[in-house]
Structure 1
Amino acid sequence: MLGVELLDGRLKLVSVQPDGSVRVVDTPGQIHNLLYIASMEAAGWKTLVQELEELINSPQTVEQDLQRFFERNPDFLCGDAYEEARSHIVLQRDDDGPLIPDFALKPSNSNALCDLLELKLPKAKLLRVSKNRVRLTSAIMEACAQLREYQSYFEDAKKRLAIEESYGLRFFRPRMMVLIGKRSDYSATDLRNAETDVPNLSIVTYDDILERARARIRKR
């Protein structure tokens, strides 16, 4: 008989002899038409990384394309800190139209509070130089203004409770995160200096997301 056994953290094809002894019959490079969970996951992630790279490098890509990709593949946004990336929750307001953040990030720690993330394009610039000073661009400041409006919404306890009841998400002064541009286009020192202009803002770049995904593949 043939069977599958977990050996050293990997599924192996084994031959079960009449006397009950077991012999491994495959080599690391053989699959014998069996689905290895770790290999499947790594292959799946490689395909998704390629898809994201194509979106990042295509001049035709719009924010809706990226929104749909991350809605289908929220693990790219979650990393180790978050267990869920919920898209387009609706923050209802009495006197104005609703606010709709791109993503709400629910932390893995059930006692922690949720954060918010806005998407901008990979081709968007992060820094500009004015009078020998490096500053954040208008694209980032626009995202920051959006995020501050969301933050203000959650200062109201009744609104926080309504969102928790509707979505199971707990908010209070959420961290502001924006996914934008490419870190590799800039000096690490210049980017860190510019980030201090908005202390409560966390800038995540598309090459950060890709590198995190590649690291996950290397661990498989």
Structure 2
Amino acid sequence: MRDPDENPGEGIPDNGADVLGLELIDGKLRLVSVLPDGRIRISGTPGQLHSFLHVVSMESSAWRSLVQELEDLINSMHTRERDLQSFFERNPEFLCGDTYEEARPHVVLKRDNDGPLIPDFALKPNNSNALCDLLELKLPKTKLLRVSKNRVRVSSAIMEASAQLREYQAYFEDCDKRAAVENSYGLRFFRPRMMVLIGKRSGYRAIDLRNAESDLPNLSIVTYDDVLERARSRIRKN
């Protein structure tokens, strides 16, 4: 909504052409033309100009749609890891947040006597002097914790992901392999931070999760609740 006392042309491109927008009027969305001076003409009311404006942000609408798509994937019992891999490859900003500028999928770590190692994502930081990190995807329905002899521990799925990530991490102890990856992909690694995106926090006590995570101090456990909440916070800020 534009204040009539504000400069009517502020923020509107002064190129002599109308800009199309949407205005919520009497509970209905109406097509409007935004004039160079900031006033609008409502479709169906020729000759009448108005000084209020509410243009729907296409970027905000698209982001809401993506958040809903991810939420549907998370809540579906039929979602497979490759479905999530595909979503994050198409929408890497969900993984990057404010820390990383790029989430590079399936970097191939070649080995001489064995098959290659292929992490789900390599995360390249915004700081060009910083080193890259690694992230593995697991399913949202995967359990995070298990109870053994009255002690809460991380699940076998998290232990497996940790072992997988440690193998990737060990790969970069070899300086020649680090150099080969940097030459091929432009990504710099050395003892990367290890992250696994897995499960949901809902249904677990926060104190139990924190205690269990102490079993794997070198692994960052990120849940799908965390990713969704970060995405929703972006909506609230807009």
Normalising by the residue count of structure 2, what TM-score does the alignment of the two structures yield? Answer: 0.81
Q: Deviations over 1:55-111 (max 9, x none)?
A: 111111110000000000000000000000000000000010000000000001111
Partner residue, 1:19: none
Q: Which runs of 4+ in 1 moved over 6 A?
A: none
Judge conservation of contact 2:9–2:38 (CA < 8 Å) in 1: no
Alignment of 1:208 with 2:226, yes or no, is yes
For CA contacts below 8 A with separation 6 or more, give which structure has more relative contact order: 1
Find the aligned partners of 1:137 and 1:14 in 2 and give their Cα distance: 57
Distance 1:28 1:198 in 2: 53
How far is 1:28 from its partner? 3.9
Within a 5 Å distance, the mapping from 1:184-195 to structure 2 comes to 184-195=202-213
Question: Residue 182 and residue 157 in structure 1: after superposition, are their counterparts in 2 closer, same or farther (change >3 A)?
Answer: same
Greater share of helix residues, 1 or 2? 1
Residue 174 of structure 1: how far off its partner (Å): 0.4
Pick from 166, 180, 198 the counterpart of residue 148 of structure 1.
Answer: 166
Deviation at 1:4, TM superposition (A): 7.0
> Is residue 5–residue 14 contact of structure 1 (8 Å, CA) maintained in 2?
no
Question: How big is the alpha-carbon RMSD for the aligned residues of Structure 1 and Structure 2?
Answer: 1.9
**Would you say 1:40 and 2:58 are equivalent positions?**
yes
Aligned residue for 1:71, secondary structure, equals: helix
Secondary structure of the equivalent of 1:193?
helix
Give the equivalent residue in structure 2 for 1:27: 52
Q: C-alpha deviations, 1:15-42, integer Å up to 9, x for none?
A: 45xxxxx45445343x3xxxx6xx1111
Aligned match of 1:128: 146
How far, CA to CA, are the matches of 1:79 and 1:86 in structure 2? 14
Say if 1:27 and 1:62 are closer, same or farther in 2 by CA, change over 3 A. Answer: same
1: CA distance, partners of 2:101 / 2:227 = 16
Report SS of the residue matched to 1:6: coil
**Matching of residue 116 in structure 1 with residue 153 in structure 2:** no
> 3-state DSSP class of the match of 1:184?
coil
CA contact (8 A) 2:106 2:120 kept: yes
User: Across the two proteins, how many residue pairs are aligned to each other?
Assistant: 203
Q: What is the Cα deviation at residue 142 of structure 1? A: 0.4
The amino acid across from 1:114 in the alignment is: C
Letter in 2 for 1:27: F
Q: Distance in 2 between matches of 1:55 and 1:90?
A: 27
The offset of 1:14, in angstroms, is 5.6
Indicate if the aligned counterparts of 2:145 and 2:212 stay in contact, CA closer than 8 A: yes
- Answer yes or no: is the 8 Å Cα contact 1:4–1:14 preserved in 2: no
Match of 1:174 among 169, 179, 192: 192
Correspondence for 2:11 among 6, 17, 22: 6
Q: Using the alignment, how far apart are the partners of 1:219 and 1:112 within structure 2? A: 28
CA 1:28–1:150 in 2, change beyond 3 Å: closer, same or farther?
same
Normalising by the residue count of structure 1, what TM-score does the alignment of the two structures yield?
0.87
Q: Which amino acid aligns with 1:190?
A: D
For structure 1, the 5+ residue unaligned runs are: 17-21
Equivalent of 1:87 in 95, 105, 120: 105
Q: Which runs of 5+ in 2 are unaligned?
A: 1-7, 13-18, 22-32, 41-50
**AA at the equivalent of 2:70:** L
C-alpha distance in structure 1 between counterparts of 2:38 and 2:58, whole Å: 24
Quick one: structure 1 residues 14 and 65, their matched pair in 2 at CA, closer, same or farther if it must change by over 3 Å?
Answer: closer
- Deviation of 1:184 after TM superposition, in Å, equals 1.5
Partner letter of residue 228 of structure 2? L
